[in-house]
Structure 1
Amino acid sequence: MSKIPKIIPISDLRQDASGVIKRLSASREPLFITQRGRPAVVMVSMKEYEHTQHELEILRLLARGEKEIEAGADCSLEEVMAEADSLLAEQQ
């Protein structure tokens, strides 16, 4: 069962930016901002943004490692996984 996304119009953000940011910082959920009734931007807390960027870095590493292994580069699956494990440990 998926959660209903939090959506607010940009006018609400203008009226209570401090409160919106405070609630967003306390949540791991993204906040969708609409403008003229249409999706405009998505906001997330800095902590959640950094977490997402770290996950993307790990996924890129794994994809690059897979390509290098397929191309016959001088690296092994164990080396790629060890580097990914190291990145995961940094996050915790």
Structure 2
Amino acid sequence: MKYSAQIKPISYLKSHTAEIVTQLTETREPLLITQNGEAKLVVMDVQSFEEQEQTLALLKMLALGNREIEQSQYRGAADVFAELDKEE
């Protein structure tokens, strides 16, 4: 697993929680938590999480759009604009 975040054991999370919150909020870099030497979870600030969720939503929309194009399930721009003009 390639990961550029800081890596800390779960004991560090337990004993430095307030410090971690401050650090993550300031740096916006995620923290990888390990347990028994294995990666178990990622801790990140809320703003980074929300941005990541928005990015994933956009990527899903792009993938759906590409699939529809591949399956010829689309209308030309001229048709769409003509329909919009009729609705006015």
TM-score for the superposition, normalised by structure 1: 0.72
Write the deviation string for residues 51-75 of structure 1: whole angstroms up to 9, x where unpaired. 0110011111111001111111134
CA distance in 1, matches of 2:17, 2:71: 50
Q: Gaps spanning 5+ residues in structure 2: where?
A: 78-88
Aligned partner of 1:89 in structure 2 is none
Structure 1: segments with no counterpart, 5+ residues: 78-92
Identity %: 32
1:7/1:34 contact within 8 Å kept: yes
Quote the residue 1:39 is aligned against: 39
Poorly superposed stretches of 4+, deviation over 6 Å: none
Q: Tell me the matched-pair count.
A: 75
Q: TM-score, normalised by structure 2?
A: 0.75
Q: Distance in 2 between matches of 1:45 and 1:5?
A: 13
Q: Any conservation in 2 of the 1:27–1:45 contact (CA below 8 Å)?
A: no
Structure 1 pair 59–75 and aligned structure 2 pair: CA distance change class (3 A):
farther
One-letter code aligned to 2:10? I
